[in-house]
């Protein structure tokens, strides 16, 4: 067991959109048709933790610090642990884009490290002052290509792509390929900020494509080479997207490769690992699709718990409560009721 291994295996869910859904009138129900509060419904499926994304100055306030506090307090009241996921942006950050917050634009590297640290301390202090200590804190979201770098975006906020499907980077301040030292410096600034106000919180660095050993060796090696720090490694594991992008041939092989990489990086870097994002397709017209998702989720949890020498500390599902429509990989149906996928959590 690693120095940061916990005595229990964590099953969790990112439920960051929940308050916005509720504000738009979304209701949730158990399989008996009873209306239920969403987090308590998730507990029925043995979930014991929530993950909450943090945006700096988001439109409408959703996933801003006050909204994060409301969700964290609800989770605490139910006895659930809290993971914070700092995007260090006003909106989505992922491998394709890591948009610099509007209020930080034009700042020097030195100043941006201060901005990042202050934002981190402010949000964690707000939670702690209200009785919630985050058990884990992610410094960045899927920072596979670094953090705090801009791409050209359209009026809707999404990145613009050329005819070859490539984006144009407009500010590569923290891009791992052009500014590896700065990227590692941002990770270190986040780590130090967390430890200053919440030394007991476990700091996670999070990359996508958990099946890709080269990504993890390159990124984590770069961070450590330039003085970055982290306590735990976070992975995304999405068989659906791995197959969609033709990086993996089947869901089963995606899971097999991810588990092999998980064991390998835990040993190589001497850190525990968490699968901080996963998800499976909801297709109400084809129940067998959800049954397959249930089996894949159950396999991930079983192998993560039993076949990693105790190094994988848990599995989080990304936004299971999202209803079908815009996003395919939730775990609830259009009536706000858990599908068969959620049964994959129950051991």
The answer to whether residues 65 and 54 touch, using CB atoms and an 8 Å cutoff, is: yes
Has residue 53 been placed in a domain? Answer: yes
Summarised one tens digit per residue, pLDDT across range 172-200 is 889 999 999 999 999 999 999 999 999 99
Has residue 156 been placed in a domain? Answer: yes
| Helix (H/G/I), strand (E/B), else coil: 31 | coil
How much is the mean pLDDT over the chain? 94
Has residue 5 been placed in a domain? Answer: no
Has residue 3 been placed in a domain? Answer: no
**Location of structure tokens 């700096």:** 56
pLDDT for residue 173: 85
Has residue 2 been placed in a domain? Answer: no
Summarised one tens digit per residue, pLDDT across range 208-243 is 999 999 999 999 999 999 999 999 999 999 999 999
Has residue 1 been placed in a domain? Answer: no
CATH of the domain at 143: 3.20.20.80
Task: Indicate the number of domains in the chain.
Answer: 1
Has residue 4 been placed in a domain? Answer: no
Residue ranges making up the domain that contains 52:
10-345
pLDDT for residue 7: 55
What mean pLDDT is predicted for residues 303-325? Answer: 96
Residue 227: which region, alpha, beta or left (left: phi > 0; alpha: psi -120 to 50)? Answer: left
Look up residue 127 and give its two tokens. 């939670």
Has residue 180 been placed in a domain? Answer: yes
Look up residue 330 and give its two tokens. 């939730």
pLDDT for residue 71: 99
Q: Taking the model in full, what pTM does it have? A: 0.93
Number of other CB atoms surrounding residue 281 within 10 Å = 18
Number of other CB atoms surrounding residue 283 within 10 Å = 15
pLDDT for residue 3: 41
């Amino acid at each position: 067991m690693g120095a940061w291994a916990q005595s229990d295996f964590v099953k969790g869910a990112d439920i960051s959109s929940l308050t916005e859904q509720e504000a738009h009138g979304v209701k949730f129900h158990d399989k008996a048709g009873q209306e239920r509060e969403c987090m308590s419904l998730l507990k029925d499926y043995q979930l014991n933790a929530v993950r909450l994304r943090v945006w700096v100055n988001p439109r409408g306030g959703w996933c801003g610090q006050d909204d994060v506090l409301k969700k964290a307090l609800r989770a605490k009241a139910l006895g659930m642990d809290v993971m914070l996921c700092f995007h260090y942006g006003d909106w989505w950050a992922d491998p394709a884009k890591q948009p610099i917050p509007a209020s930080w634009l034009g700042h020097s590297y030195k100043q941006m490290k201060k901005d990042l640290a202050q934002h981190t301390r402010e949000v964690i202090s707000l939670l702690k002052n209200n009785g919630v200590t985050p058990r884990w804190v992610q410094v960045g979201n899927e920072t596979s290509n670094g953090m705090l770098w801009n791409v050209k975006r359209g009026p809707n906020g999404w990145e613009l792509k050329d005819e070859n499907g490539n984006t144009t980077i407009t500010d590569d301040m923290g891009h791992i390929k052009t500014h590896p030292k700065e990227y590692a410096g941002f990770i270190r600034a986040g780590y130090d900020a967390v430890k200053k106000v919440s030394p007991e919180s476990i700091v996670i660095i999070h990359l996508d494509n958990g099946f890709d050993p080269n990504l993890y060796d390159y990124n984590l090696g770069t961070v450590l080479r330039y003085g970055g720090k982290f306590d735990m490694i976070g992975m995304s594991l999405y068989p659906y997207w791995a197959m969609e992008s033709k990086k993996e041939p089947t869901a089963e092989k995606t899971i097999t490769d991810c588990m092999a990489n998980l064991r390998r990086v835990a040993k190589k870097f001497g850190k525990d690992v968490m699968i901080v994002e996963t998800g499976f397709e909801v297709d109400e017209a084809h129940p067998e699709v959800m049954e397959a998702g249930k089996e894949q989720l159950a396999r991930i949890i079983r192998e993560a718990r039993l076949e990693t020498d105790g190094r994988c500390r848990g599995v989080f599902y990304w936004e299971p409560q999202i209803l079908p429509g815009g996003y395919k990989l939730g775990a609830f149906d259009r009536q706000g009721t858990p599908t068969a996928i959620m049964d994959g959590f129950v051991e």
